Amino acid sequence: STDPVGVSDPLFGRDFFAICDEKSRVFCSQSQSPLIQKDLFRKTLKNSAVMRNRRVFVSTVPTYPLSLWSFIISGDHSFRYVKRNFRKIEGKTRHYNPGVHFSAFMLPEWLKKEVEDASKGN
């Protein structure tokens, strides 16, 4: 996705996120660096709080500044099906398991607080 500046700014607005939530079963977007683009990160989290089941996750992207990048995902997903569905492929994967899946959404304490504060508009 693009950066939330200039002509692309509306793509990170509350109205856009509400439309995406209504029209999409699953939505995912980058939400900037929580380290060096804190204002844009907080703005994205605040505006995307209108989405159902919205979660934040981070990943290392070596080509991005400081490598730590954040993303939001929302929609008709439920973690309760992960373990049940894994039984269908158990023993067929070398890396993936439900623990790896769940750990993708575990945030360090400083980032959990940041997400909570930004979602409330603090």
Model confidence at 70: pLDDT above 80: yes
Residues 6+ apart with CB under 8 A from 68: 33, 34, 35, 58, 59, 60, 61
Q: CA-to-CA distance for 122 and 116, rounded, in angstroms? A: 9
| Residues 43-57: tens digit of each pLDDT | 999 999 999 999 999
Chain mean pLDDT for the chain? 91
Q: What is the pLDDT of residue 42?
A: 94
Do the Cβ atoms of 47 and 72 come closer than 8 Å? no
Position with higher pLDDT, 3 vs 45:
45
CATH of 6-117, one of 3.60.21.10, 3.40.50.150, 3.40.50.720, 3.20.20.150: 3.40.50.150
pLDDT (average), residues 64-77: 88
Q: What is the pLDDT of residue 77?
A: 72
